[in-house]
Structure 1
């Protein structure tokens, strides 16, 4: 669930949940204050003040009944005192008058107010129901009757109307407090749940950022979420991985740079030492004959050529390593191209006594995309590497072409000394020599196969080697077919 949806649902819940809970609480509290308004066959629940009103009304009805059927009983003080005592406990009061004179007045009413209540009752008699009289909150209702001696009597019922108002205030205050509590709890719980689902992954990202700041890039950032924070965590993890890989490559490049400087120094030192020795010999007068001078001059020329070739290889490899050497890919038919390479090699004096064989196992012409010039350099570097290690009387180099699903495979195999299995994975590394002593003697810089690998990969192919010590080496590489709408072109 996205954060946007989660927040929207939480906002809706913040409105709906308090309203529903408030309605339920109001339905539960209302009968406790006001009683059941619509009882359904069961006894209605009545709050305390409702019970008080009911009992007070029953006492009023009882006094009215006595006044109508046995009015002289109201002349007995014990009955009036007992009834008034009950009324006072229920928020009521009683006044009984005979011929306009007060016969009994409840102690709860001040004597100065008795006549006012009686006068007000007469004035308000024409109105409906109870009437509010003064600040004490009493309302009064009167009932006339006749004593046994035919004298007129009046009973006044006083009720404290503040109880209903106070109850309403309590009910309103209770409901408002309940609403505030419900809103606070709902918002608090929802805010806690939503914020925790957001803040917790943010803390995880903050911790990961601190780890990265301290240089610790080994710890992955896994939020295991599918929302926006999950996407942020995935982007953060991708950044960490790329940064880790960038630093690793930077360290590797630094190591390679140091190795490159060391290898260049070593490889250049050998021919320079030879040139220096020849020059010193000529300066010391050792070359006192024309033959000796020519010998030393030829040696200087050979060493100079080795240095020049090494510098060219270094320059070419650096351009390949920095991806600054462009590739001019074009359609090449491999069988014809390899045949032209073999024809060129047969004219090379170094190939004297070496048998060159070309085999097309595909049986058809294979059209590949390649850079002719750089492919020529690859093949020559592989052949040069083979010539350095040929130690048998019968020497041969075989070139083979095979068809794959998406690329053609070209292999060059020789019957030289071969390469040890532990050294085989490293032969395409820069400045690597499977046999350092022999390779240095032969003038190799250790960059030939490294350049070949860079050039093949730059043309979209791959290169690998197979070898068995004493039986020769087989180096193979692939080149992709020409892309066409109908599939690969062969």
Structure 2
């Protein structure tokens, strides 16, 4: 779930949850403060608020006394009748007073005598019920009922209602509603804010820790948030940064190690011809070469060592440029069949290969178009042939160049009948400065970079190179280049110079 969706749901919940909770709490508070439900058979009406039932019962008692005063006023002079009614009124929050010609005949014990005169004040015009200010602890609403006794004397009934419990219940109910609403809103918002913020803050804290680890150089600890939202995507970006930094540093360390190895190998390979040249120069200076033939011999040795150094330096420069990806490739469509056929013809005219039988296969047929740099592809084939010459020691030396095609690539195979390469050495023959037989390659002037350059050049063409060898039977080097789709026939021949 995205953060945007999570926040939207939290906003909706902040509205819906308080409304639902407040409705439930309001119903409970209403039942508590304003009334309660009574079961059937208790004499009370089920479901009606208690204060409403109290008011109705109190009004019934007042109406009964008013009826009695109208039709049988003399019974009001019986104290037991008024006392019984007053007892029930006290339980209902009411009181009663009876006056005859202005003199109080009966007053509820709950009324203080000092307040009788206040309760007996005449009502205003057309006012039957008046509410008195709360002079005492009770604020009564007074209702008067006038009648006449049998002796024609004036009688007055004062009905007093204490409505303060209902008012107090209403105020308490309103206050409880306000407090409940604020509490529900505050609690809901607090819980939702905590849950949403925790779902955001915890991954942010994890990302902060990851950034600190990366800053301190600790790139081994993965950044795994396990989320599918925006923070999860940010965590994946952090993890990708960590992996790339880790690989970059590891690659940099590998480059540094390779650089040290390269310097060591260069120093070793350059020292051999320099030592030879130095020995020849010392021989001439010390007078050991005392004849013209000896001096010529030493000069030829110096020239040979110089050529060997020059070739080694050239290969080092080429390999360094390849390794740093600073050697440009000028790729163009090439008919590999015609190209290999021309290379075979060139090799047959090479003086160094005068005693080698060179055969070719697969150079005839429909054009096979590859994207290649002609000069660098020529260097690939020459390096492979040079490497084969170093290991062909028998008299009947043979070199076979074969071209074959698959659905996606053209494969050029250069095979010799040399001494072959041991199985242990096969994984390393394309590594730089690797020599399967150091004594022989040093004697023949090998730099150990020939096949390493071959691999770099072939991979620069988008191809691949591999080898098969059997000790005593020879070695085969295979070079594959991707074929171009949708080209062929006359259009392909127009692109080819072969």
The alignment's TM-score, normalised by the length of structure 2, stands at 0.90
How many Å separate the matches in 2 of 1:319 and 1:392? Answer: 37
Taking only aligned residues, the RMSD between alpha carbons, in angstroms, comes to: 2.7
1:466 aligned partner: 468
Is 1:409 the counterpart of 2:411? The answer is yes
SS at match of 1:215: coil
Describe the shift of the 1:211–1:485 C-alpha distance in structure 2 as closer, same or farther (beyond 3 A). Answer: farther
Query: Where do residues 432-447 of structure 1 align in structure 2 (5 Å cutoff)?
Result: 432-447=434-449
SS at match of 2:427: helix
1:179 aligned partner: 181
Query: Where do residues 257-406 of structure 1 align in structure 2 (5 Å cutoff)?
Result: 257-360=259-362, 363-406=365-408
How many Å separate the matches in 2 of 1:98 and 1:172? Answer: 44
1:132 aligned partner: 131
How many Å separate the matches in 1 of 2:364 and 2:47? Answer: 101
**Is the Cα–Cα contact under 8 Å of residues 465 and 475 in structure 1 kept in the other structure?**
yes
Q: Structure 1 residue 36: deviation in Å?
A: 7.7
1:217 to 216, 219, 226: 219
Q: Deviation per CA, 1:374-427, whole angstroms, max 9, x where unpaired?
A: 001111111111111113332212112121222211111112122222321221
More divergent stretch after superposition (181-190 vs 261-270): 181-190
Q: Structure 1 residue 79: deviation in Å?
A: 4.3
Q: Structure 1 residue 362: deviation in Å?
A: 8.5
Is 1:74 the counterpart of 2:76? The answer is yes
How many Å separate the matches in 1 of 2:56 and 2:271? Answer: 121
1:10 aligned partner: 10
Q: Structure 1 residue 62: deviation in Å?
A: 4.1
SS at match of 1:109: coil
Describe the shift of the 1:421–1:145 C-alpha distance in structure 2 as closer, same or farther (beyond 3 A). Answer: farther
How many Å separate the matches in 1 of 2:396 and 2:314? Answer: 33
**Is the Cα–Cα contact under 8 Å of residues 431 and 445 in structure 1 kept in the other structure?**
yes
User: Following TM superposition, where does structure 1 have runs of at least 4 consecutive aligned residues deviating by more than 4 angstroms?
Assistant: 483-486
How many Å separate the matches in 2 of 1:459 and 1:223? Answer: 41
Q: Structure 1 residue 222: deviation in Å?
A: 2.5
Q: Deviation per CA, 1:115-160, whole angstroms, max 9, x where unpaired?
A: 232224x326x247x4322135321111223334343321111112
More divergent stretch after superposition (433-442 vs 240-249): 433-442
SS at match of 1:400: strand
SS at match of 2:120: helix
1:57 aligned partner: 59
Q: Deviation per CA, 1:153-198, whole angstroms, max 9, x where unpaired?
A: 2111111222222111111111112112221222122222222222
Q: Structure 1 residue 292: deviation in Å?
A: 0.6
How many Å separate the matches in 2 of 1:86 and 1:425? Answer: 113
Is 1:169 the counterpart of 2:167? The answer is no
How many Å separate the matches in 2 of 1:87 and 1:201? Answer: 69
Q: Structure 1 residue 33: deviation in Å?
A: 2.8
How many Å separate the matches in 2 of 1:28 and 1:184? Answer: 20
1:123 aligned partner: 124
Q: Deviation per CA, 1:50-90, whole angstroms, max 9, x where unpaired?
A: 45434433443443344345433432445444543443343
How many Å separate the matches in 1 of 2:185 and 2:487? Answer: 67
1:243 to 242, 245, 249: 245
SS at match of 2:430: coil
More divergent stretch after superposition (266-275 vs 66-75): 66-75
How many Å separate the matches in 1 of 2:228 and 2:174? Answer: 46
Is 1:101 the counterpart of 2:103? The answer is yes
**Is the Cα–Cα contact under 8 Å of residues 464 and 475 in structure 1 kept in the other structure?**
yes
Describe the shift of the 1:78–1:36 C-alpha distance in structure 2 as closer, same or farther (beyond 3 A). Answer: closer
How many Å separate the matches in 1 of 2:207 and 2:487? Answer: 47
How many Å separate the matches in 1 of 2:420 and 2:166? Answer: 111
**Is the Cα–Cα contact under 8 Å of residues 356 and 398 in structure 1 kept in the other structure?**
yes
Q: Structure 1 residue 456: deviation in Å?
A: 1.1
Structure 2 gaps of 5+ residues are 494-498
How many Å separate the matches in 2 of 1:419 and 1:118? Answer: 134
1:26 aligned partner: 26
Q: Structure 1 residue 485: deviation in Å?
A: 8.5
**Is the Cα–Cα contact under 8 Å of residues 414 and 478 in structure 2 kept in the other structure?**
yes
Q: Deviation per CA, 1:180-235, whole angstroms, max 9, x where unpaired?
A: 22212221222222222222222332332233234332332222322111111111
Q: Deviation per CA, 1:308-337, whole angstroms, max 9, x where unpaired?
A: 111111111111111111111111111211
Describe the shift of the 1:281–1:176 C-alpha distance in structure 2 as closer, same or farther (beyond 3 A). Answer: same
Describe the shift of the 1:15–1:485 C-alpha distance in structure 2 as closer, same or farther (beyond 3 A). Answer: farther
The alignment's TM-score, normalised by the length of structure 1, stands at 0.91
